[in-house]
Amino acid sequence: MTDLLSRPLKLPCGATLSNRLAKAPLTEGLADEHNRANEKLVRLYECWSEGGAGLLVSGNVHVDRRYLERPGNVAIDNNGGLEWIRAYAKAGTRAGNHFWMQINHPGRQGAVTRDGTFPAPSAISLNVPGRPEFVPRVMPEEEILDVIRRFAFVATTARECGFTGVQVHSAHGYLLSSFLSGLSNTRTDAWGGSLRNRARALLETVRAVRKAVGPDFPVSVKLNSSDFQKGGFTNEECLEVVRWLGEEKIDLLEITGGNYEQLPWLEDVKPSTQRREGYFLDYAKQIRTVATMPLMITGGMRTRGGMEEALRSGGMDVIGLGRPMCVDTDICKRLLAGDTDAAVSYEGALPVDPREIAAGATDDEAKALEMWTNLVWFFVQIWRIGEGQGPKADMTALEAYRIYRETEDRQTAMLAPL
């Protein structure tokens, strides 16, 4: 038995995680045409709940069905299906672990729109090679306030339906994250300009969520340590926001980094980082100096020894595992029992020539596509588990990309009108 990984963690609100391993939030893409949960999500989270992690965090559940990160996202927007949300929560807690709902709005990074627009703090296009350029529309203040209310409504629904906590997604360039960045938020009103103003959307969302769910219910935030872009959200700004989040009495802060324009966990990782594991551990150690809440890091953690060292260093309290759990759903149980010393890094065996997919792609487009095909291989494994087929570790990246593209196109075409 590994003492450090098995040690319980009591959160500020009074709830306790049974161990220090978490299934990190992963976009699932399994919802029905009304963006409701279903038997596929139930089946998937039954597997993950039995897998041994003390905490599961769902993929993003959207607050507004008009704007989706993917067509198969779950949304809670007066679209019915609460019986399935209850079944989803029950499945994810069946082994006695915590199951938190990640709540999100995609903002300008959305892939599906039902009204032909994507809202954002400012009318600044997303710069992603190979992605069609569009200019998002500027959100008026009343729409910002409506989004905050929607986050609180979804949080209330999560608690009433049996989830044991929530996570407010303010990372990776989605809506709340885009308010924090000076690159994507150039407003001159009370929602832009100074860091305090740019952080207002996040802080008021956290306050609204806390008021809605009460003081004894875990409220977490996912936050970038940095956007890794010149002019974007910096690590120094992150430290200040963490101080403010501490004043809001959040229960867990998940540290990550980057956005669609800059994906540090898919870029070439420094050898020193690979040896140490934990892509964001150095940032977490800096954040620890100002944080009053427990910290969770996701990204690059693979060996039991590396996980133990990260916990021993004091830079983190919870270890998030993402991609390994898309294939080995019981990896946490095996790590805790000492049955294995490491999670498999499947991403290291997925080479693909992007020009097999997009002939004539520029170098930048090819690089972006190569990273994307690496990700979608894991998306397809999640689908297979949800459909009862089980993962297929010998699937090629090219095969996975073709399945992903066909499925996403079909889901988009089948989306129910509002």
Residue 372 lies in a domain: no
Identify the residue whose tokens are 């769902």.
Answer: 58
CB–CB of 415/114 below 8 Å? yes
Tally of structural domains, the chain: 1
Residue 407 lies in a domain: no
DSSP string, 189-200: STTSSSHHHHTH
Residue 413 lies in a domain: no
Mean pLDDT over residues 165-172, rounded?
96
Residue 393 lies in a domain: no
Which range has the worst mean pLDDT, 86-100, 216-230, 305-319? Answer: 216-230
Residue 403 lies in a domain: no
Q: What is the pLDDT of residue 261?
A: 44
CB–CB of 167/103 below 8 Å? yes
Mean pLDDT over residues 34-39, rounded?
98
**Cβ burial 358-391 (10 Å sphere, 16+ → b, else e):** eeebeeebbbbbbebbbbbbbbbbbbbbbeeeeb
In angstroms and rounded to an integer, the radius of gyration of the C-alpha atoms of the chain is 20
User: How many alpha carbons fall within 13 Å on the CB side of residue 409?
Assistant: 6
Residue 385 lies in a domain: no
Percent of the chain surpassing pLDDT 70: 86
DSSP code at position 294: -
CATH number of the domain bearing residue 318: 3.20.20.70
CB–CB of 264/279 below 8 Å? yes
pLDDT digits (tens, 9 = 90+) for 351-389: 555 566 666 667 666 666 666 777 889 999 999 999 999
Max Cα distance, the chain (Å)? 56
pTM of the model: 0.92
Determine the structural domain holding residue 151 and report its residue range: 3-349
pLDDT digits (tens, 9 = 90+) for 253-289: 999 865 444 454 444 444 444 444 566 677 778 899 9
Q: Report the alpha-carbon distance of residue 142 to residue 164 in Å, rounded.
A: 30
Residue 97 lies in a domain: yes
DSSP code at position 397: H
Enumerate the H helices of 126-174 as residue ranges.
141-161
Residue 392 lies in a domain: no
Mean pLDDT over residues 243-256, rounded?
96
Count other Cβ atoms within 10 Å, centred on residue 141.
11
CA 193 to chain centre: 27
Kindly indicate the confidence band of residue 409, based on its pLDDT and cuts at 50, 70 and 90.
Answer: very high
